[in-house]
Amino acid sequence: MAKFVKREMPDIRKDGNQKVYYKMETYRNYSHGEFVEYMIDNGVGISASMAEAVLTQAVEKLADLLGLGYTVTIDGIGTFSTKIGPKKGREVEELDANTGKRNAASIEVTGVNLRVDKKLIKRVNANCRLERSGERRLRMSPYTEGQRLERAKKFLEANGRMSILTYSYLVNMSKTSAYRELHKFAADPSTGITYTGRGPTRVFVLKKETD
C-alpha cells in the first residue's frame, strides 16, 4: 500500500494562509534488472532475456527517432519529444541581435520531454491504494531576517567560518532556506559575509577588511 504525507507550503503571498500539498512517499527505486524480473513474474510467456532484448531495442530505436527530429508515441506510456539548446558555456542568442546565425555545432540535445498518456495516469490511479503517513511542517525561523544576519555575523566573529547546516540550526530554518539566505547575504556587500570553497566544502566567512 502506498503512503502519502501532507506537506506545508511556504506562505509566499504573506497573507497568513498556510497552504499544503500532498506527496507520495517513495519506498525505493526499482532497478532495471528488477523491472525485467517483474515483467515476467506473472507468467506472461516471455523469458528475462527476451524482455531485456525488447527493452534495449525500444530504447535504441526511440533514441534514433528522437535524434532524427521525430516525436514518438507509445500507447499507454505517452509521447516523447526532444529538447535542444545551446551547449554548456554558450550564451543564448537574442532574437534581434546582429550576431549572425547560430552554428549548429553549438546546439545540442539538452533533454527529452514526456507527455504522459492519460491512460497510464488512470491505470496507476486504479492500482493505487493510499494510506496517510503523516504531516511535514516547515521549520519557520522565530527570528527576523535582520536578527538572523546578526546571529550569523556573531557566530562568524567567534568561530571564523560557518556551514549551511550550522546556519540552519543557528536560526532554526530548513537547510534549503538557509542555503538561499546565506547566498543572498553573500551577494550583498553590505552584509560583510562571503564564502569560500565549492560544492559540499563551501563555507561562509566574514569579508576581510581592506585598507
Contact present, 206 and 173 (Cβ < 8 Å): no
Q: What is the CATH number of the domain that holds 150?
A: 1.10.10.10
> What does the pLDDT read at residue 145?
92
Q: 51: Cβ–Cβ under 8 A, 6 or more apart, which residues?
A: 36, 39, 40
Residues 155 and 128 placed together within one structural domain of the fold: no
Residues 157 and 120 placed together within one structural domain of the fold: no
Total domain count, the chain: 2
Q: Which three cell numbers stand for residue 121?
A: 495516469
pLDDT digits (tens, 9 = 90+) for 106-133: 899 999 999 999 999 999 999 998 888 7
Whole-angstrom distance, CA of residue 163 vs CA of residue 178:
10
Q: What is the CATH number of the domain that holds 38?
A: 4.10.520.10
pLDDT digits (tens, 9 = 90+) for 161-184: 999 999 999 998 888 888 989 999
Question: Looking at the domain assignment, is residue 199 inside a domain?
Answer: yes
Question: Looking at the domain assignment, is residue 59 inside a domain?
Answer: yes
Residues 66 and 153 placed together within one structural domain of the fold: no
What residue numbers bound the domain in which 116 lies? 2-134
> What does the pLDDT read at residue 41?
83
Of the pLDDT bands very low, low, confident and very high (cuts 50, 70, 90), residue 92 is low
Residues 26 and 116 placed together within one structural domain of the fold: yes
Question: Looking at the domain assignment, is residue 102 inside a domain?
Answer: yes
- Is a pLDDT exceeding 60 seen at residue 102? no
Indicate the residue among 100, 134, 168 that finishes a domain: 134
Question: Looking at the domain assignment, is residue 211 inside a domain?
Answer: no
Residues 109 and 70 placed together within one structural domain of the fold: yes
Question: Looking at the domain assignment, is residue 139 inside a domain?
Answer: no
pTM above threshold 0.75: no
- Give me the phi and psi of 179, to 5 degrees please: -60, -50
Question: Looking at the domain assignment, is residue 191 inside a domain?
Answer: yes
> What does the pLDDT read at residue 211?
38
